[in-house]
Chains A and B, each alone.
Chain A
Amino acid sequence: MNNNQEMVRANGLLKKFHNFTAVNKINFSVHKQECFGFLGPNGAGKTTTVRMIYCFLEPSSGELIVLGKNVLHNPRGIKSCIGVCPQENNLDPDLPVWDNLRVFARYFDIVGKEAEIRCEELLHFVGLYAKKNSNVEELSGGMKRRLIIARSLLNKPDLLIMDEPTTGLDPQGKHQVWETIMQLKDQGTTFILTTHYMDEAAHLCDRIVIMDKGEIIMEGKPRELVEKNIGTNVLEIYSANKEIENYIKSKNLNYEKTKTHYYIYIKGGEKELAEISNKFGSEISTLRMANLEDVFLKSTGRELRE
C-alpha cells in the first residue's frame, strides 16, 4: 500500500465570513493512514477548516481536494466515503439509540439486514449495545460521544474527521475514545482531528499543525516540534522576581516569563535546578520534560482569545 497517497490536500485555502477571515490561505496535506491533528486556541479556525473538508462549508477561495475529489464539484462523492464527528453533539433526540444509527445508515443507502448487522456490530464496538433502546438524552456525555463515533463509522469511511472528540469527557471516557481511535487506526483508517489537549495530540497524532488566527504557524511531528522549539526539558520557576531573572540572564538561558512564572527551555537542566534551589530556595522550581503544551503556548502566546 502506498502510504504517501494524499487523502486531503489544501492549497491556499481561504474562508471568509463577510469581511472576517476565519481561515487564511493555508496549505497542508494529509497522508493515507496517518492521524493528522489541528491544534490552536479558541477561534483559530480549526472547525472552519474541517467543515470545509467535510463539505459543510464552501471555501471562499483556494483549492481543496479530499480523496481525490474537489469539494466544490463532488461533495456527495466525498461525503459518502468519510465519517464525521462534529464538535457539537447532533444526535437525533427524536430517535432512540438504535434508530439513530439505523436512520443514519439509511442516508448512506445502507438498509435492511445489512444495516441491522452494521448497527449491531458498531454498538458492540463502542460498548453501547445494552443501551440500544435508550433515549439519546439519557446517555452520559461520554456515551453520546461514543454513539457519534459509531454513527460516523456506519459507511466504513476511509477518512474520519473528529472535531474535539474528547472535550468534556472524564479521564475514563477520554481513554476509551483514544483506544477506539487507535484501534481504528490500526485497521487503516486515516484520521483528521482537532483538539485542545496536547497530551491527546502527542498521544494520537503522527503529524500536527498549530493554527492561530486562521493561519498555520507550525507543522510537524509532535516529538520533533518539541525538540526543535523547546529542547528536551523545562525548568519552571513559580516565583517571578528580579534577582532570579538576573540570574537567568547571566547564564544566557532561553526563557519566557509570565506575571508569576519563569519557564526556562533547556537541555538537561539538573545543574541549573540545583543552583536555583541553593540560591533561592528548593520549593520554587521543578524540572520536567518538555511537551507539546510548551510549544503551543510559546507559539500562540499565553493570552486568552476573545
Chain B
Amino acid sequence: MTSILKNTSWRSLRVWQRNFDVYLATWKVNFIPPVLEPILYLLAFGLGLGQLVKDVPYNSHQISYLEFIAPGLIATAIMNHGFFETTYASFVRMYYQKTFDAIMSTPLTIEDVVFGEILWGATKSLFAGTIMLVVMFFFGLLSFPLSLWILPISFITGMTFASMGMCFTAIVKNIEMFNFPVFLFITPMFLFSGVFFPLSTLPIWAQYVAWFLPLTFLVSSVRAIGLGSFGMDIFLQLLVLIVLAFICTLLSLSMMKKRLLK
C-alpha cells in the first residue's frame, strides 16, 4: 500500500501525454461520435418520446422531458467515456500492443502507467462532458453559467468510472470478458440511475437499490446543477464519488501490479 503511493509519481503524466498525442493524431475520428451521440439522443427523445411524455415533475415544478434527460445524458457520457477508455482501450494497449511493457522499461513504474491511464480515462470523460455541454447549450437545455461546474465535475467523477474500469481490466482474461461488467454494471446503471425517469416513480425498494449505483449520484448532482437548483446535497453526492475514486484507484493499482508483475 505505501509502496503503491511511493511508486506513483508525476511521471504518470508522460503516459497521459502519450495517449493525448495519439488522440490528437486521430482527433476527427475521436471527436465526431461524441458530438453526434447526444444529438441523436436528443432528437430521438425530443421528437419521439418527448411527444408522449410532456412534462416531468422535478423539485415540485414541471419541466420538459428533454430538459429532464439532458443532464442524465451528460452523466451517462461521463461514465461511458471514462469506463470504456480504461477497459477496452487500456486492455488493447496492455495486452495486444504491449505498450505498457515498453513503457515499463523506462524510468516509469507500473503504478505510473496505470495511474496515467486512469487520468487519461478521466480526461476522456472531461472531453465528453465538454462536448455534451456545448451541444446542450445550443439546444438551450441547461442553465448557464452554473452549468460550467459540470466541467470539473466530469473530470473528477471521470476518475471514479475510469478507476472502476481499470479494476476490471486487471482481472479479465480476454477482451470478450468485458461484456460482464458492461451488461451487469454499466447497462443497468444507464437504465436505473434516473437518467430517463425520476427515481421517485420507482417502488421504494428499487429507489434504495438505485442509490447503490454510482451513476445515480452523478445524474442527481449534474441534474441539480444543470437545472440551476444548486443545493448542499450535491456536495455529499460528489463526495461519495470522490471517495469511490480513491478506493478504486488504489485497488486497481495494486491489482494491476499483481497482474503485470506476477
Please state if B103 and A107 are interface contacts (CB–CB under 8 Å): yes
Residues of B within 8 A of A90 (CB): 97-99, 101-102
Query: At the interface, yes or no: A297 with Cβ under 8 Å from chain B?
Result: no
Q: Are A79 and B18 also in contact (CB < 8 A) when A17-B262, A90-B97, A90-B99 are?
A: no
Total number of A residues with any Cβ neighbor in B under 8 Å: 27
Chain A 68-90 interface 0/1 with B at a Cβ cutoff of 8 Å (1 = within)? 00000001100110001010111
Residue of B nearest to A99 (CB): B21
Query: At the interface, yes or no: A56 with Cβ under 8 Å from chain B?
Result: yes
Give 24 CB contacts A-B under 8 Å: A54-B105, A56-B104, A56-B261, A57-B262, A75-B109, A76-B109, A79-B107, A86-B101, A86-B105, A88-B98, A89-B98, A90-B98, A90-B102, A92-B97, A92-B99, A92-B102, A94-B22, A95-B21, A95-B25, A104-B102, A106-B18, A107-B103, A107-B108, A108-B107
Residues of B within 8 A of A88 (CB): 98, 101
Query: At the interface, yes or no: B54 with Cβ under 8 Å from chain A?
Result: no
Residues of B within 8 A of A95 (CB): 21-22, 25
Which among A79, A89, A93, A103 is the interface contact of B105 at CB below 8 angstroms? A79
Query: At the interface, yes or no: A58 with Cβ under 8 Å from chain B?
Result: yes
Query: At the interface, yes or no: A91 with Cβ under 8 Å from chain B?
Result: yes
Residues of B within 8 A of A94 (CB): 22, 25, 97, 99
Residues of B within 8 A of A106 (CB): 14, 17-18
Best-surrounded residue of A90, A95, A108 (most CB of chain B within 10 A): A90
List which A1-38 residues lie within 8 A (CB) of chain B.
17
Residues of B within 8 A of A92 (CB): 18, 97, 99, 102
Total number of B residues with any Cβ neighbor in A under 8 Å: 21
Which among A57, A58, A89, A107 is the interface contact of B14 at CB below 8 angstroms? A107
Q: Are A57 and B261 also in contact (CB < 8 A) when A103-B21, A107-B14 are?
A: yes
Q: Are A56 and B101 also in contact (CB < 8 A) when A17-B262, A106-B14 are?
A: yes
B259 to chain A, nearest CB (A): 13
Please state if A91 and B102 are interface contacts (CB–CB under 8 Å): yes
5 closest A-B pairs by beta carbon, nearest first, are A107-B106, A90-B98, A84-B105, A90-B102, A80-B107
Residues of B within 8 A of A108 (CB): 106-107
Residues of B within 8 A of A (CB): 11, 14, 17-18, 21-22, 25, 97-99, 101-109, 261-262
List which A77-128 residues lie within 8 A (CB) of chain B.
79-80, 84, 86, 88-95, 99, 103-104, 106-109
Residues of A within 8 A of B (CB): 17, 54, 56-58, 75-76, 79-80, 84, 86, 88-95, 99, 103-104, 106-109, 155
Residue of B nearest to A151 (CB): B102
- The answer for the CA separation of A89 and B96 in the assembled complex, in Å, is 11
B76 to chain A, nearest CB (A): 27
Please state if A76 and B21 are interface contacts (CB–CB under 8 Å): no
Residues of B within 8 A of A84 (CB): 105
Residues of B within 8 A of A86 (CB): 101-102, 105
B105 to chain A, nearest CB (A): 4
- The answer for the CA separation of A84 and B101 in the assembled complex, in Å, is 11
Which among A58, A93, A109 is the interface contact of B261 at CB below 8 angstroms? A58
Residues of B within 8 A of A17 (CB): 262
Residues of A within 8 A of B21 (CB): 95, 99, 103
- The answer for the CA separation of A263 and B261 in the assembled complex, in Å, is 44
Residues of A within 8 A of B104 (CB): 56
- The answer for the CA separation of A148 and B73 in the assembled complex, in Å, is 44
Residues of A within 8 A of B108 (CB): 107
- The answer for the CA separation of A103 and B108 in the assembled complex, in Å, is 13
Residues of A within 8 A of B11 (CB): 107
Residue of B nearest to A96 (CB): B25
Residue of A nearest to B23 (CB): A94
Residue of B nearest to A78 (CB): B107
Please state if B105 and A56 are interface contacts (CB–CB under 8 Å): yes
Known contacts A86-B102, A94-B97, A106-B14; 16 further A-B pairs (Cβ under 8 A): A56-B261, A57-B262, A76-B107, A79-B105, A80-B106, A86-B101, A86-B105, A88-B101, A89-B98, A90-B98, A90-B101, A91-B102, A94-B25, A99-B21, A106-B18, A107-B11
Residues of A within 8 A of B98 (CB): 88-90
Q: Are A93 and B14 also in contact (CB < 8 A) when A17-B262, A56-B105, A108-B106 are?
A: no
Residues of B within 8 A of A57 (CB): 261-262
